[in-house]
Structure 1
């Protein structure tokens, strides 16, 4: 009887932790604060940081953000669903599509870049 009770409690704790991790992973809070495209472009021109165009719910954006880890703070993030100018910037370099993540690094656009490659570039400065 006690074994069955412990099994049920253990399973409940496991399910709770699994859902908590899933909620944290898909939360929009996992991304750095988004700024408008115009501000990101102005700041990037001044300090040379990359601009990452993304949108909530995009699994490729989640993957990029997860792989970048704390390095993601070395880029400006623009949510294309909140910023029409950001969406237009993505369409301009992605054959008219809103393909994200799109990264502008040193003035060169990279559509859905390899996260490890980008992390290496961001760490290099």
Structure 2
């Protein structure tokens, strides 16, 4: 749990220190701007930005039941943030698995990517797709038949 919040906390502390230094030098405008940027970075890299993460086993079960893709991700991954942003509200229809919280998920990602923990890795019909185009992932959400 604490690992997922590590990077956001680093952004918050760094932004706070930078803003405090600028504020003490009399640069109030830049201090506020830097603080807002670092708060935004912390938010985007936090678990709050992504739909609730489930375990690898449960996500696969749900994906098989409803036909929705399973997305393996980790906090701090810019490609995961890109996918999440480009999917918009549709992101909540997918099953998200944080590989930092689930060792079985990390092992599944390594198995799919030649030993590397490359994310996002998206499972569609049980087949892994590493860092797919967000438009392609959105197409996978369309009803099949």
TM-score by length of 2: 0.71
Q: Which runs of 5+ in 2 are unaligned?
A: 1-26
RMSD: 1.9
Residues 23-102 of structure 1 mapped to structure 2, 5 A cutoff: 23-102=42-121
In the alignment of these two chains, the number of paired residues is 118
CA apart distance, 1:16: 4.5
Which residue number corresponds to residue 4 of structure 1?
Answer: none
Superposed CA deviations along residues 42-68 of structure 1, whole A, max 9, x for unmatched, are 111111111000111111111111111
Does structure 1 retain, via aligned residues, the 8 Å contact 2:68–2:140?
no
Q: Which has the higher contact order (CA 8 A, sep 6+)?
A: 1
Which residue number corresponds to residue 4 of structure 2?
Answer: none
1:111 aligns with 2:130: yes
Over 3 Å counting, the alpha-carbon distance change for 1:49 and 1:16 in structure 2 is: same
TM-score by length of 1: 0.82
Query: Highest CA radius of gyration, 1 or 2?
Result: 1
